[in-house]
């Protein structure tokens, strides 16, 4: 995008971040042309010695707390939007094509079973790769397509910090996974134009089933109260709950995961009742009972925080079985006689 070209302290739409943070670059001894490189490095998360830019201790103090142990850095809240924007523009073309709304729309009638698998902000998000790998190893990509939706908080747990917490790039490489989406895919950086598809609507049309594993306390509260302020909750809010729009009722299966005290909180019980009693299905198989929500309740276990009690997400193997049952995938497992 042209507005992301690096000029001297001018980077299109993000130039104001830089100016607001550092209004007096010349007074600090920076030469013409150095400002843009300084900004680029800070946005990419590179920590730079102040001496690289010839900044003295005196001039450096004008940045106040932005200096730490002779390293120059910009507060994350000033670069948050820009870093996301740059990451999106640096994605390989293949990834951009996979997440494009046009590609999604074109795949709605591809004859495959479509699983929309999502995660919200709970540490149990680290079990998402297990679910994906189990499905990818057991099913043919020509028969099953999986698209993943992550909330911003869920991405916090999948950044390659451990073997059980792979990067999003590694998740994209799992068999049957065709795309991974985040909020930026719906709302930026490129402005929407009339005539283009709406991502959360196209995802709803595409999906044969939506699974939220884990469902955090925060996302549970949003869903139960109709709040839709991110991509995942927008999909849920746009779900065809009675099947009139699409001609069929489709399942949403959720797997709550939270601290025991949060699970036992009366507001949680009220919100779960909404999902189970008001919106819930009467059985795992039936579509004619009027419901569209299935809740797989949490289990008692030692939680990540060290507490022992109910709140841990249901075992991921059970989630895989529930997906295969709902999508009628049991007969499509690789290596199974036909």
Task: Give the residue numbers annotated as catalytic, written as ranges.
Answer: 305
Residue 229 per-residue DSSP state: -
Distance CA 261, CA 285 (A): 32
DSSP per-residue string spanning 130-144: HHHHHHHHHB-TTTE
Q: Judging by beta carbons within 10 Å of its beta carbon (0-12, 13-18, 19+), is residue 262 exposed, middle or buried? A: middle
Tokens coding 112: 């495959």
Q: Show the DSSP H helices in the chain as ranges.
A: 15-21, 34-43, 57-60, 76-90, 93-99, 101-106, 128-138, 152-155, 168-172, 183-187, 199-206, 217-224, 231-237, 260-264, 266-273, 316-326
> Residue for token digits 């999948």?
158
Strands 209-215 and 299-302: unpaired
Distance CA 198, CA 58 (A): 52
Q: Give the list of residues 6+ apart from residue 105 with CB closer than 8 angstroms, or none.
A: 197, 202, 205, 206
Residue 93 per-residue DSSP state: H
The helix or strand, by DSSP H or E, that contains position 48, with its residue range, turns out to be strand 48-49
Distance CA 37, CA 21 (A): 15
């Amino acid at each position: 995008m042209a507005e992301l070209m690096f000029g001297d302290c001018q980077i299109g739409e993000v130039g104001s971040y830089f100016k607001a943070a550092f209004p007096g670059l010349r007074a600090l001894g920076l030469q013409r042309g150095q400002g843009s490189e300084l900004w680029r490095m800070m946005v990419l998360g590179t920590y730079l010695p102040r001496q690289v830019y010839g900044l003295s201790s005196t001039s450096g103090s004008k940045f106040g707390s932005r200096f730490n142990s002779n390293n120059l850095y910009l507060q994350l809240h000033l670069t948050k939007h820009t870093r996301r924007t740059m990451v999106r523009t640096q994605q390989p073309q293949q990834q951009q094509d996979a997440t494009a709304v046009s590609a999604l729309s074109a795949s709605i009638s591809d004859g495959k079973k479509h699983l929309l698998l999502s995660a919200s902000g709970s540490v149990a998000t680290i079990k998402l790769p297990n679910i994906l790998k189990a499905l990818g190893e057991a099913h043919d990509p020509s028969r099953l397509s999986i698209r993943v939706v992550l909330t911003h908080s869920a991405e916090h747990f999948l950044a390659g910090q451990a073997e059980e917490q792979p990067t999003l790039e590694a998740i994209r490489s799992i068999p049957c996974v065709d795309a991974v989406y985040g909020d930026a895919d719906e709302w930026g950086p490129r402005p929407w134009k009339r005539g283009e598809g709406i991502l959360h609507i196209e995802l709803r049309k595409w999906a044969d089933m939506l699974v939220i594993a884990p469902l955090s306390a925060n996302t549970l509260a949003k869903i139960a109260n109709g709040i839709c302020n991110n991509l995942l909750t927008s999909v849920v809010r746009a779900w065809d709950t009675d099947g009139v729009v699409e001609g069929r009722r489709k399942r949403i299966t959720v797997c709550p995961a939270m601290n025991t005290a949060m699970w036992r909180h009366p507001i949680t019980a009220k919100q779960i009742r909404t999902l189970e009693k008001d919106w819930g299905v009467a059985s795992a198989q039936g579509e004619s009972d009027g419901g569209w929500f299935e809740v797989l309740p949490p289990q008692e276990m030692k939680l990540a925080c060290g507490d022992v009690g109910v709140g841990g997400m249901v075992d991921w193997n059970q989630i895989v079985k529930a997906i295969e049952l709902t999508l009628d995938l049991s007969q499509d497992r690789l290596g199974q006689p036909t």
